[in-house]
Structure 1
Amino acid sequence: MPSRLTARAPAARTARATGIASPHDASAPPVQRLRTDEVFTAFGGSPRGLSAGEAGARLETYGPNELPRPRRKGVWRRFAAQFTDLFALVLIAASALTFLAYALQDPRDVGNLQLAFAILGVVVLNAVIGFAQEYSAERTAQTLQAMVPHTCRVLRDGERLELPSAALVPGDLAVLEAGDAVPADCRVVEAHGLSVNNAPLTGESSSVGRVGEPTAADTALDSRNCVFMGTTVVAGSGKAVVYAIGASTEFGRIFRLTDEAPLQKTPLQREVAVMARRVAALAVGIGAGMFALRLQTGQPLVSAFVFALGVMVALVPEGLPATLSVSLAIGVRRMARRQALVKKLLAVEALGSTTVVCTDKTGTLTQAEMTVTRIWSDGTWHEVSGVGYAPAGDVSDAEGLGELLRSAVLCTDARLVPPAGAEGWRVLGDTTEGAILVAAAKAGLHPAAEKEAAPRIGEFPFDPVRKLMSTVHRTPAGDLLCAKGAPQELLARCRRIRLHSAEHELEAPLRDDVIAANDTMAAQGLRVLAVAVRPVGEPPATAEEAESDLTFLGLVGMLDPPRPEVAEAVRACHRAGIRIVMLTGDHPLTAEAIARRVGIVTDPAPTVVTGAGLDAMDAAALDELLAAPGQLLLCRVSPEHKMRVVAALQARGEVVAVTGDGANDAPALKHADIGVSMGATGTDVAREASEMVLLDDSFASITAAVELGRSVYRNIRKFLAYLFSHNIAELVPILAAAFAGFPLVPLTAVQILAIDLGSDVLPALALGAEPPEPDTMDRPPRSRRERLFSGELVRRFLFLGAVQSIGVCTVFFWQVHASGIPYADFTSDDPVYRKAITLTQAAIVVSQFFNALAVRTDRQSVFTVGLFSNPRLIAAGCFGIGLMAAISYVPLLQDVFNTAALNAVDWAVLVGFGVLLLAAEEARKWWVRRRPAPAVTGKETTP
C-alpha cells in the first residue's frame, strides 16, 4: 500500500487541493489494461473489499464521493449587479451631482433635493424590478450532485453493506445489479451478463456489455471493463473496484467543463449595451454643452447645472430597464403556457434570433424507448405499430410469429412494469429486451405467463465477444434452448430455418434471403436481433456446445422512435430559415435514419462526420465544414466536440441554440447562446446548465418558443420607438427655450421623471404584450448585422418625436406669449409659467396616448388591426392621462411638480394635437405600403 493512504490531515489537504481522488500510481499502466489481481493490488483492495478502518482512513484522505458545490453569486451581489447598468450609473451620478448642487446653494432650493431623491428612487426601482424578475425566473447553478445515487452496495470485510454513496472511497469493491445507478468510476473485476446504459454520459442510447478482463483501449471511457458514475446497469450483475470519486470521475470532468464555460451574452444584451453607451454619451455630451452655453449667457452656476441636468434626464430613458425586464417576463409567462420554462429573461429574445439549432438525438428527437417496428419471419415482413413501452399497438399477421416471439421472450432477463402513480410503462433491465417483451404483448402473448410455463434451467449470459445470449428451458415437449443476438453471429451457428411450420436446410439461397433482410433493416437504422432455437437432451456444458446446430426463426428490428411531433417542428424551423445540425454520440447509421425520419436530412448523401473526424480537423477545416451548404450530421461526438462545434458556429456569427438531455450535453448547453434541455426525461445537470427547459420534452415547443421570441424582439422595437419619440419631445422644448432666451425650462427634471415612469412604462409594457403577427415564422432569422437601433427605427422615432415636439412647443410658447409678459420677468412661481409647464407635460402625455396606438404596427394601419384591440394599452394610456390630471388638479401634487389646473379648452387642444400625430403616422404607413417591401439582407441559412 502506498504510504499516503494512511496519512491524515496533510494528505487530505493535498488530495483535495490537487483533485486527486485515487491511490493509483499515475506511472502505472492505465486501469483498463490491468488484470483482476493487479486491480486489487493497484488500489489496495481485495476480493473481500476494504476493511472498515481502511475505508475510514481513505474517506478522511480523499474526501466524500461528491461533486463540488456550484459557484453561486450571493443574493446581495446579484442585487448590487443591477446598479452596474450604464443607465443606472448615469442616473446615480446625476443624483449625486444634484445633492451636491443642493448643498452648495444659498439659499438652498428644496426642489433640487426632491429631484435628487426622485432620480435615486428611479434607480432603486429599476434595480428592484430587474432583480425580482431575474431572481424568480433564473437558476444559474450547474450541479451534478443529483446524478449521484443516494446509496450503493459494497463489500467490506467480506460483508455486503448498503452505504450512502458519499461514503464510497477509492479501492472499495462495489456490487452492481440490474437497475442500479453506478455510484463512481469503477473497474469491473467480475461480470455476469453485465450491461450498462451510458446515454447520460455519452449520448449513445444502446446498452453496452461490460467484461472483467483487461482491454487494450486507449482510455477508460472507451474500454469495456469500466463503468462510470451516473450511468445505469440495465442487465446482469458484477463487481467493480472504485478508482475515481467525486470531481475526478468522468462526470466530474464534465462538471468542470460546464462550470468553466463562460456565460455568453445574448444578442439583445449586446444590442442594449451598445444602445446604452450611445444614449448615455449623447445625454452627457448635450448636457455638458447646454451647461457651458448657459454659463456663457451669464446664468448662475447652480442654475446652469440644473438646466443641463434637465437636458440629460430628458435624454435618458429612465423607464427602459424596468420596461425591458417586465416585457421579457411577459414573454417568459407566455412561453410557460407553451410548456417552455425560461430561466433567464434575456434568453427569450435570444431564442427568437436563433439561426442554428444543434440538437441531440436520444431523448430530444427520440423517446429514449427502444421499440420493435419490423419483424422478418417465414420470408415475410411483419409491421409492428405503437411506440414506447406501453403494449398498445398491433403486429401484422401475428399468428405466424408465435414461436419466434415466445422464444425471444424466454431468452430475456428484462421485466415490463405497468404504470404506477405518475410513472407510465417502464422496463427494468435491458431496453432491447424490453422492446421484445412489448412486441410479444402486442402480438397477444403474455410474457410473464410464457416464462412461468417454461422455467429456465440453464443460461449462457450475453458476452460481447460472442454477441449472443442463450437460455435453456423445461417445456412439456422437452428441454428447449433459445438464443438471440447479432444476426451474423447467430446465423453462422444455424443449420436449419423454420419456414411455414416446417424446418428446411439453411442452404445458400435461404441464407442470402436472411442476409438481405438484415441489410434492409440496418439500412433503415434499425437495431437487429436474430432468434434461433434447438431442442436439447442433456443440458449443454459450454456456450459453444449450446449455440450450435440451431434452427433460425427470424429477425427482430427495433429503434428508439422519434417523437411524433418532431417532424412538423423541424419543417417549421426550416420555413423560419433555421438550420438544424444533429450532434449525437450514437452510430452514424442510426443517427442518419432518425434524421431522415424527422426531416432533418432529405439529401441523398448528407455530410456525416464522426468525433474522430473532428479531431483530425484544425480550426480552418472545421470552419469550412460548417460553412458548406447542405445537411450535416455529427456522430460519435464527446462533450468537448460539442463545445468546439458550438464555439465555431458562434465565431461565424451564428446565434446557436443547443438542445440536449444528458450530462454529456451540459457544457455545450451552457456555452450556447441559448441552451434548451428536456424537463421530463433530462438529467439534472442538463436542466441546470440550460436557459430554457421544455416541460413536455417536445421539440415542437422549441418552434413555439422561437415564434414568441421573435415577437418579443419586434415588440421591444415598438416600445423603443414609443419611448424615444417622447424623449425627443422632452428635449426639443428645453433646447428651443434656451435658444429663444427664455430663462426657465419648459419642463423640469421632476416632471420628466413623472412622464418616464408614471405615464410611459405601462403603455410600453402593453406594447410588449402584443401577440405574434401571423407571418412571424415565415421569415428568416434577422441578420446579425441588423441593429436594435436600426435606421428604420431611428427614422421612425425621429419622425414621431418631431411631430410631438411641434405640438409641445406650440402649446408652451402660445401660453407664454399670450400672457404678454417679457421673458426676463418670468419666475418659477409665476402662475403663467406654472400653467405653461403643465401644458408641456400634458401635451407629451396626451400625444403619447395616440403615439402608442400608432406604433402598434409597422406597415399596417392601426384601424386594420383594431384601434381598441389591445385593451391593456387603452387602460395604460388612460391611467397616464389620469395621473397627469391629478398632477394638474391635486394641490399636494401641484406643490411637488409646480403645476397649475388646466381647463376644458386646454384639454381639447391637446387631444387635437394627439389626433394630428396619429394621422401623420397613418399617412407615413400609407406611403410605406405603396412601396415594395425591402428585400431581406440577412444571411440565408440552409435547412
Structure 2
Amino acid sequence: MKPEPGRSGTATVREDGPPNDAELPGTGPSPVGGPEPSALSVPALTAPEVFAALNGSPRGLSAAEASARQTRYGPNELPGVGRGHVWRRLAAQFTDLFAVVLLVSSLITFLAYTLEEPRDPATLQLALAILGVVLLNAGIGFAQEYSAERTAESLQAMVPHTCRVLRDGEPQELPARELVPGDLVLLEAGDAVSADCRLVEAHDVAVNNAALTGESDAVARVADPVPDGPALEARNCVFMGTDVVAGTGRAVVCAIGTATEFGRIFRLTAEAPRQQTPLQRQVAAMARRVAGVALATGALLFAIRAPGGQPFVDTFVFSLGVMVALVPEGLPATLSVSLAIGVRRMARKHALVKQLLAVEALGSTSVVCTDKTGTLTQAEMTVVQLWAGGVAHAVSGVGYGPVGEVADAGAVRELLRTAALCSNARLVPPAGREGWRVLGDTTEGALLVAAGKAGLDPAEEEARTPRVAEYPFDSDRKLMSTVHRDGDDTYVACVKGAPLELLARCDAVEWEGARAPLTDALRDRVVAAADGMAAEGLRVLAVARRQVAGAHPALGDVESGLTLLGLTGMYDPPRPEVRDAVDACRRAGIRIVMVTGDHPLTAEAVARRVGIVRGPAPSVATGAQLDALDDAGLDALLADSAELLLCRVSPEHKMRVVTAFQRRGEVVAVTGDGANDAPALKHADIGVAMGASGTDVAREAAVMVLLDDSFASISTAVGLGRSVYRNIRKFLIYLFSHNIAELAPILAATFAGFPLVPITAVQVLAIDLGSDVLPALALGAEPMERDVMDSPPRPRRERLFSASVMGRILFLGGIQAIGVCAVFFWHIHASGIPYADFTKTDPVYREAITMVQAGIVVSQFFNALAVRTDRQSVFRVGLLSNPWLLAAGGFGIGLMAAISYAPPLQAVFDTAPLAPADWAVLTGFGALLLAAEELRKWVLRRRVAAPKGETR
C-alpha cells in the first residue's frame, strides 16, 4: 500500500532552528499530522542525529522533560467521536416527512377542537389518535435504529494500553497515552506498537503492518538511515496499531495521536460520510410525493365543500381526514419491523447487519470490492509443495495446525529440518477459543508446520543442534543464515532465501540422496522448478546448508560453497467456500473487483484460484498507476475492465475507487478486515467487515459484519436482501391499494352531495394500524424465492413504485374502492332517507360507515393473499403456506368485529352492529377481488413466456 505522495508522516527537523525548537508532531500542534516536511527527514538520519533532532537521548527522556512534553503535545490517544444525545436521536425520528405531516395534522386538529362551539369530542379523539400514531412510529424506529457510532473508540482500543520505555536510563512500563515525542521505546516480539517511531537499534526486527497496509507478510525493519519517501515505505520506522512479530529493538517516538499514520486513517474514517441506501432515497421520494398528493387533495376538497354552507371547522376536519386517509401511517413502523425480520434471518446465516436499511441495500448491490487477505484467504501461510532432487512432494493440510502429510517425507526430511532450524518463529498451540497460531514471521511458521507434518519436532531439533550465531535477513542479500553446533567441534550453517540469490551461492546439490556438483544442467532444472512454482502463485524459498569452521564464521564463509537441499512453495490458501460464492455472485450479475495492498502477482494467483479471474489477461492497476489517472481515466478503467485487480493501494485509493463506482451508478459493497479498510467501508453503500479476524475499527465502520469471516455469507446476504426488497414491494401494494379504497368513498360522497363522510379519520387510523400492520409484516416475512439470485441487480435509479407496482395498486385499489362505495350508497339509498336529513347520530349512517370500514378490512384479507405472488397463482403456492398471514388477517377481521359489536368501541368509532347478511356481502366482494387478481395473473402468464418456468 502506498500513502499519498509526498507524505512522510514522521517527525522532521527544521534547518532554521536548533533541535530543541523543532516542531514535533503530536495531537496538539497540527490536526493534520505535524509540521510541513523540511529538507531533513527522520528516516534519513543516523541514530545520533535522530536523538538530536527529537531532543532525545540513548538514556531516554527525564521525567521532568517527559511531563513538560505531555503538557505541550497532549495524550497519545485518538479523540472520541461526539455521540449525539439520546434525546437528539429520538427527535430525529420526528423529522420523517410522514411524521411531520401527521404532527401538523394533529396540531391543526387540536386547534380546530378548541375553536369548535360546541366542542366535539370526536375532534379531540382524532387529534390524540394522530399523535399516538406518530409516537408509536417514532418509538419503533428509535428502538430499531439506535446504535452508537463507535468507530473512533475502536481505533483507540487498537492502541495498546501499556508500553515499555526508557526514562532516566531505567526501563519503565507506562500507559501508552503518556508517550511523548522523543521517548525511547523498547520493543520485542509480541509487542503492539503504541506510536509512530524511528528505530535506532534493531535485532532481527520484523513487524506485521496488515492493519495499516493490508499486506499479510511480515516486513523486516532496520535501524540504518534510508532515503526519504512515503512513511509506510520507510524500513527503519514502525507505526501505531502494528505488531512486532520477531526480534528486539529500540525506537524513538516521532509522532503520537492523530499525527500518526494510524491517526490519518482515523481522520479519513471520521470524515467519510455515510451513504444513503437506495431504499432511503426511494422512501424519501415516495414520502414527498404522497405528502404532496395528500395536501393537494385535502385542499381541493376543502375548496369544493367550503362554499356549500358546511360549518368551517367541520369542513376543515373533513379535509384533514382525507389527508390522513392518504398518508400511510403504518408504513414507517411496518418498514422498520420488516427490515428487522431480514436482519434476524441474516444473523442466522452468520451475517450481522447493524443498520436496518442496509438489509435492502444488499439486494441492489452491483459491485463488490473485496479485500484479499482474511476475506478470500484464510490469512494462514501454508506450505503446499516441496521440491528436492528433481521430484515434487505434495503437502496436505491447511493452516497452522500440524495436521496433514508430506508425500515421501523421508526424501525431504533434511530440507525441512534445515528450514526449521533457520527460523525464528514459534508455533503456539490452541488455547481457549484460539486455534493454532504463529508467533513471529508467518512464512517461517509455515515451515515449522510443514516440518511437523513430516514427523519432525522443531523444538527437539533446536535442542539437539543449538544455534550459536545468526545472520538476519535483509533486503539486499535476500537471505537469512544461522549457525548451529552439530556435535562437539562440528558446526553447520543453515541458509534460506530467494531461490536465485541462494542458487548463486551454491556449488553442489542434494540429488537422489547424494551430494552432486551443481552443473549448469541441474541449475537450469532448479530454476525451472522455482519458476513453475512461482507461476502457480506460490511463494518460493530455497534452502541450503554447509559445514563451517568455528562458531562464528564470517558471513562470506557462511553464504558461499553451499549445498542446495531443495525448494519450498507456500501460499495463503483461499477459503474453500469462496469459489461457490463467487459463482453465485456472477450468476446474479454482481461484479467482483479485488482491492488489496498485496503484490499484483500474489493477487492474481488468488483471484484465479477463487474464480474472480478466468480470462488470460485481467486488468491490473497499482496505487501508483491510480495516482496517475484523473477521474475520467479512472472511470474508463472501471468501465473497460471486465476483470480488474487493484493492488498496492492505500485507504485513499480505496475510497476513490468506491466513489468512482458510485458515480457510475453502481451500488457498491466493500469488504475488509483491517484498519486500512475502515474509510472505504464507511464510504461504501454497504461496508462488510470480517467478524472473527477483523479489527474493531473495521467492524464498527461497516454496516454488516460476517460472523464466520466467510465470503460465501455475502452472496447469501445479497439473496436475502433481494428477497426483502421483493417483500417490501408486496406490502407497499397491500398498504397503498387500501388507501384508494379509503379515499374513493370520501370523494364519491363529496361529488354526490352527501353531507357526511363515509369513513372518519379515526376509522382510517384504526384500519391503518389495527388491521394492516400485522398482515404487512407477514408479507414482509415471506420466504426467499428460489430464483432470487438468477437475475441481475436492479438499477440504482429504479423506482420503488415502478409502473408494474403502480398498476397493481390501481387495479386492486380500484376493485376495493368500487366495493366499499357500492355497499355505502346501497345502505344509504336502501333506508329511503334524503341525504340532507342524515346526521352523525343516525343509526343508518353509523351502519353505513361501519360497512365501509369492514369492507376495507375484509377485502384487505383477500388482497393480502393476492399480492403474495406476482404471476403465479396463490393457490399453487398454497393458501396455508404463510400461516402468519392468515393469523394476521383473522386478527384484523376480529378487531373489526369488536369495533362493530363492542359498545365501548362503538362509542369511540361511531359504529353500529352489522348483520350476518352484511358480512356475507362484504366477503363476496373480497372473494371477487381475489378472483379478479387470479384472472389477471392467468392472462399475464398466457402473454409472457417465462424462459425458466413460472416464478413467483
Q: TM-score range by the shorter chain?
A: over 0.9
The one-letter amino acid of 2:447's match is: I
Which residue does 1:85 correspond to in 2? 96
Are 2:239 and 1:228 equivalent residues in the alignment?
yes
Selected match of 1:543 from 550, 555, 572: 555
Instruction: Give CA deviations for 1:488-544 in whole Å, capped at 9, x if unaligned.
Output: 221111111111221111121111111111111211221111111001221244322
Answer yes or no: is 1:360 the counterpart of 2:371.
yes
For 2:536, give the aligned amino acid: Q
Is 1:696 the counterpart of 2:744? The answer is no
Q: Is the 8 A contact 1:319 1:757 kept in 2?
A: yes
Task: Report the alpha carbon displacement of residue 352 of structure 1 after superposing the two structures with TM.
Answer: 0.8
Matching residue of 2:509? 497
Q: Which position in structure 1 is the counterpart of 2:615?
A: 603
Aligned AA for 1:769? Answer: A
CA apart distance, 1:161: 1.4
1:870 to 878, 882, 885: 882
* 1:625 corresponding residue in structure 2: 637
Q: For residues 140 and 737 of structure 1, what CA distance do their matches in structure 2 show?
A: 57
Note if contact 1:137-1:343 (Cα within 8 Å) is conserved in structure 2: no
Alignment of 1:105-124 (within 5 A): 105-124=116-135
- Asked whether the 8 Å contact 2:149–2:700 carries over to 1, the reply is no
Q: Where does residue 880 of structure 1 map in the other structure?
A: 892
Q: Is 2:23 the partner of 1:30?
A: no
What whole-Å deviation, never above 9, does each CA across 1:664-722 have from its counterpart, x for those lacking one?
A: 11110000000000000001110010000000000000011000000000000000000
CA distance in 1, matches of 2:716, 2:149: 20
**Equivalent in the alignment of 1:322:** 333
Amino acid at match of 1:889: Y
1:909 match: 921
2:707 is equivalent to residue 679 of structure 1: no
Relative to structure 1, the CA distance from residue 97 to residue 923 in structure 2 (aligned partners, 3 Å threshold; closer, same or farther) is same
* Structure 2 residue 649 is the aligned partner of structure 1 residue 637: yes
Within 5 Å, give how 1:11-26 maps onto structure 2: 16=28, 18-19=30-31, 26=37
Give the letter aligned to residue 423 of structure 2.
Answer: T
Q: Secondary structure at the match of 1:16?
A: coil
Supply the distance in 2 between the matched residues of 1:19 and 1:744 (Cα, whole angstroms): 67
> Residue type of the partner of 1:766?
A
Per-residue CA distance 1:187-242 (angstroms, 9 max, x = gap): 11111111111111001111111111111141221111111111111111111111
Partner residue of 2:800?
Answer: 788
Distance 1:641 1:804, change over 3 A: same
Q: Secondary structure at the match of 2:473?
A: strand
CA contact (8 A) 1:359 1:580 kept: yes
Instruction: Give the 3 Å change call, closer, same or farther, for CA 676–15 of structure 1 in structure 2.
Output: closer
CA distance in 2, matches of 1:933, 1:54: 82
1:411 paired residue among 413, 419, 422: 422
- On the 8 A contact 2:81/2:150 being kept in 1, the answer is no
3-state SS, counterpart of residue 732 of structure 1: helix
The yes-or-no answer on 1:828 pairing with 2:850 is: no
- Find 1:150's aligned residue among 144, 148, 161: 161
1:784 positional shift: 2.5
Offset from partner CA, 1:542-561 (integer Å, 9 cap, x none): 32222111111111111111
Give the letter aligned to residue 857 of structure 2: V
What is the CA deviation profile of residues 585-606 of structure 1, one whole-angstrom value per residue up to 9, with x for unaligned ones? 0000000000000000000000
2:437 corresponding residue in structure 1? 426
| Alignment equivalent of 2:739, drawn from 716, 722, 727 | 727
Structure 2 Cα separation of the partners of residues 402 and 13 of structure 1: 53
Q: Is the 8 A contact 2:425 2:438 kept in 1?
A: yes
- Using the TM superposition, give the Cα deviation of residue 6 of structure 1 relative to its aligned residue in structure 2, in angstroms: 9.4
> What's the secondary structure of 2:231's corresponding residue?
coil
Match of 1:435 among 446, 465, 490: 446
Cα 1:637–1:238 shift into 2, 3 Å: same
TM-score, scaled to structure 2:
0.96
How do 1:888-899 and structure 2 match up within 5 A?
888-899=900-911
SS at match of 2:472: strand
> Which of the numbers 595, 599, 603 marks the counterpart of 1:591?
603
Note the C-alpha offset of 1:931.
Answer: 1.4
Question: For 1:875 and 1:102, how far apart are their aligned partners in 2?
Answer: 38
> Match for 1:334: what amino acid?
R
Q: Which amino acid aligns with 2:329?
A: E
1:615-663 CA-partner distances (Å, limit 9, x unpaired): 0101111001111142000000100000000000000000000000011
In structure 2, how many angstroms separate the alpha carbons of the residues matched to 1:794 and 1:604?
47
Name the structure 2 match of 1:263: 274
Distance 1:386 1:15 in 2: 48
Q: Sequence identity of aligned pairs in percent?
A: 71
SS of structure 2 residue aligned to 1:190: strand
Contact 1:722 1:855 in 2 (8 A): yes
Cα displacement (A) at 1:405: 0.3
Report what 1:194 is aligned to: 205
- Aligned partner of 1:305 in structure 2 is 316
Gaps of 5+ in 2: 1-12
* Aligned-pair CA distance for 1:466: 1.6
Provide the rounded CA distance (Å) in 2 between the counterparts of 1:914 and 1:142: 56
Distance of 1:395 and 1:522 partners within structure 2: 20
Matched, 1:214 2:225: yes
Contact residue 729 and residue 800 of structure 2 kept, 8 A: yes
Q: In structure 2, what residue type is equivalent to 1:509?
A: A
Q: 5 Å matches for 1:430-829?
A: 430-476=441-487, 478-829=490-841
Taking the TM superposition and a 5 Å limit, the aligned residue runs for 1:23-102 are: 26-102=37-113
1:246 partner amino acid: G
Structure 1, 487-496 or 759-768: larger mean CA deviation: 487-496
Pairwise CA distance, 1:297: 1.7
Counterpart-to-counterpart distance in 1, 2:237 and 2:151: 32
| More displaced 10-residue stretch of structure 1: 215-224 or 690-699 | 215-224
User: Is the alpha carbon distance of 1:114 and 1:486 closer, same or farther for their aligned partners in structure 2, counting shifts above 3 Å?
Assistant: same
Kept after mapping to 2: 8 A contact 1:12/1:61: no
| Deviation of 1:12 (Å) | 12
- 1:142 to partner: Cα distance: 6.8
One-letter amino acid matched to 1:678: M
* 1:867–1:562 Cα change, 3 Å: same
In structure 2, how many angstroms separate the alpha carbons of the residues matched to 1:650 and 1:364? 22
Query: Is this contact kept in 1: 2:189–2:244, CA < 8 A?
Result: yes
Provide the alpha-carbon RMSD of the alignment: 1.9
Distance in 2 between residues matched to 1:593 and 1:788, nearest whole Å? 41
Question: Residue 776 of structure 1: SS of its match in structure 2?
Answer: coil
Report the Cα distance in structure 2 between the residues aligned to 1:38 and 1:72, rounded to whole angstroms.
Answer: 44
Aligned residue type for 1:73: G
Q: Look up the match of 1:941.
A: none
Aligned residue for 2:249? 238
What code does the residue aligned with 1:577 have? G
Listed one character per residue, the Cα deviations across residues 309-359 of structure 1 (whole Å, up to 9, x for unaligned) are: 111111100000000000000000000000000000000011110000000
Letter aligned with residue 158 of structure 2: M
Give the Cα separation in 1 of the matches to 2:104 and 2:48: 72
1:13 CA drift (Å): 14
Does the CA-based 8 Å contact 1:454-1:473 persist in structure 2? Answer: yes
Task: Single out whichever of 24-33 and 256-265 deviates more from structure 2.
Answer: 24-33
Given candidates 394, 399, 406, the residue that maps to 1:383 is 394
User: CA separation of 1:141/1:63 partners in 2, compared to 1, >3 Å: closer, same or farther?
Assistant: closer
Query: What's 1:173 paired with?
Result: 184
- Judge conservation of contact 2:29–2:73 (CA < 8 Å) in 1: no
Contact 1:767 1:856 in 2 (8 A): yes
Tell me the alpha carbon deviations over residues 387-430 of structure 1, each in whole angstroms, 9 at most, x when there is no partner: 11011111111110110000111111111111111110001111
2:326 paired with 1:342: no
Is the 1:58–1:170 contact (alpha carbons within 8 Å) kept by the matching residues of 2?
A: yes
Contact kept in structure 1, 2:63 and 2:167, CA below 8 Å: yes
Compute the TM-score of the two structures, normalised by the length of structure 1. 0.97
Q: Which moved more, 1:832-841 or 1:524-533?
A: 524-533
C-alpha separation between the residues in 1 aligned to 2:31 and 2:155?
17
